[in-house]
Structure 1
Amino acid sequence: MAQARKKDRLLPGFRLTTGFTTLYLSLIVLIPLAALVVKSAGLSPAEWWHTVMAPRVLASYKVSLMTSFFAALVNLVFGLLLAWVLVRYRFPGKRIIDGLVDLPFALPTAVAGIALTTIYAPNGWIGRLTEPFGLKIAYTPLGITIALIFIGVPFVVRTVQPVLQDLAAETEEAAVMLGAYRWRSFFKVILPELTPALMTGFALAFARGIGEYGSVVFISGNMPMRTEITPLLIITKLEQYEYNQAAAIAVVLLLISFVLLLLINLLQRWAGRRLHAA
């Protein structure tokens, strides 16, 4: 009887669609990732460890992780602010600004990199203004961070925006009428509702920044031990026909991204349970 009820709840074609989904996921994601691991296994354990722990590689990890983290952190704050303005206020040109948020998705990353380098180079529009004060932007980690902020902001805005739209403004108004100040109502009423979405946007922006190449390669300067990012180092290994070493470095980058997303998902579940419990 229970099995019959369970079958009744299943959508028609469940097994067929599940099999197609599994096949599609395997061809697009699982098999390429498995091939990457197999390719890196061409190195002996000692060679593998020496490759991924070389000083130049460790320096590239540091540059990629630090710039991606700070860029995602900036996007966490200003992405929330931008989403708040787009949802809660009406003003001329709102539709244009809302469309411009998606520009990093549509714009080729190489074009974005060239444009940012042109602006922030020592002879660029902004670079020439900051250079006399000793603030160099292009060809520094700061320039890389700015490029990652540019490509990462849509992830936060588009993740938070639907949650803000579903969050009734009357809830905030009720908290104010009950005596809560604006800031207190924001931190006690609104922010807990937005926390899972903010974590998701942060994780997506962080993960995208770690693997970003096109928009960063021009503005970074590609100086080993200083501004060389890990994706560029992988490309360098491929150009030198060191495929096994490139695969080994890519596997480490893959593991870092996977662990990051796993931790964020666990934090989301914890925040969701705590919110429902409250």
Structure 2
Amino acid sequence: MSRRTSPVIPGFGLTLGYTLVYLSLLVLIPLGALFLKTTELSWAQFIAIVSAPRVLAALKLSFGTAFAAAVLNGIIGTLLAWVLVRYRFPGRKIIEAMIDLPFALPTAVAGIALTALYAPNGPIGQFATDLGFKIAYTPLGITLALTFVTLPFVVRTIQPVLADIPREVEEAAACLGARPLQVVRHVLLPALLPAWLTGFALAFARGVGEYGSVIFIAGNMPMKTEILPLLIMVKLDQYDYAGATAIGVLMLVVSFVLLLFINLLQRRIAHS
């Protein structure tokens, strides 16, 4: 008969109770109210709202740009984490602080700054216009804004995992004749992939719901650069609360399915 060991600090029942209460107040009850509000619509009305061309275009734009920004940050964030962990150089602390800047900077301020920089009359936007393409008021501008906002999620997720990988493992692989790409593929990637997927999921989830940094640089043109959070705000301004909650439920369901798939993939890789 196995004996269950007691923790050093007792109180499982009390702490579990507090956990369930906080989760209910902060997550379950608000989400339940969202679904409850949607019941004011018939199934046909719900389908008509979420299948409207304007909603589907905003859905494709929001999730597409969030996915692109998460992938881009997965590459850039991994490189930044590698540099910060493996090298010591002047200005390293400044770069560390700059990575955390999107956490502290109001998203509206970030949106205004990015718009001023990438707008057609901005320093970089004017140069891009001369080359024949636009950055601001296009999906590219939205992707750049989301990349700026979600970068810390990837870097801070990968950084501690990378720091726990001893350099001796890489050196041993190199001494055994492994090339640099083989070291990355067979030594580093298996250890980093679960953390990379976690950072990717966090960046993707943040990007889907981002509002403040996007509305300035997006241009908010229906069917072109209008994101789903803005469309929800439009519905609320029109006092169409049922329509806004229907779009919110659509975002919630799609986000949950995608995040569930990513978590299952992460678990499968961790146990393989």
Instruction: Quickly name the TM-score band, shorter chain normalised.
Output: over 0.9
- Which of 129, 145, 148 matches 2:146? 148
Q: 1:41 to 1:133 in 2, by over 3 A?
A: same
Q: Identity over the aligned pairs, expressed in percent? A: 62
**What's the counterpart of residue 171 of structure 1?**
169
Unaligned 5+ runs, structure 2: none
Partner of residue 189, structure 2: 191
Q: Which of residues 29, 39, 42 in structure 2 aligns to 1:41?
A: 39
SS of corresponding position for 2:134: coil
Query: CA separation of 1:7/1:79 partners in 2, compared to 1, >3 Å: closer, same or farther?
Result: closer
One-letter amino acid of the counterpart of residue 94, structure 1 = R
SS in structure 1 of the partner of residue 97 of structure 2: helix
Shift of 1:258: 1.2
Aligned to 2:115: 117
Q: Deviations 1:9-56 (Å, cap 9, x if unpaired)?
A: 585111011001100110011100000010111111100010011000
Cα distance in 2 between the residues matched to 1:236 and 1:167 = 48
**Cα distance per residue 1:188-223 (max 9 Å; x no partner):** 111110000110111111111110000000000000
From 124, 131, 134, the counterpart of 1:133: 131
Aligned to 1:266: 264
TM-score by length of 2: 0.98
For residue 240 of structure 2, what is the aligned residue in structure 1?
242
Structure 1: state its 5+ residue gaps: none
- Residue equivalent to 1:54: 52
Matched residue, 1:98 = 96
Aligned equivalents of 1:57, 1:125: Cα separation in 2: 33
CA distance in 2, matches of 1:174, 1:264: 32
* Structure 2 counterpart of 1:251: 249
The Cα of 1:7 is off from its aligned counterpart by: 6.5
Separation in structure 2 between the aligned mates of residue 106 and residue 15 of structure 1, nearest angstrom: 36
| Secondary structure at the counterpart of residue 158 of structure 2 | helix
Provide the secondary structure at the position in 1 that maps to 2:6.
helix
Residues 177-216 of structure 1 aligned to structure 2 (within 5 Å): 177-216=175-214
Q: How many residues were matched structurally? A: 272
TM-score (normalizing by structure 1): 0.96
Where does structure 1 differ by over 6 angstroms across 4 or more consecutive aligned residues? none
Structure 2 match to 1:81: 79
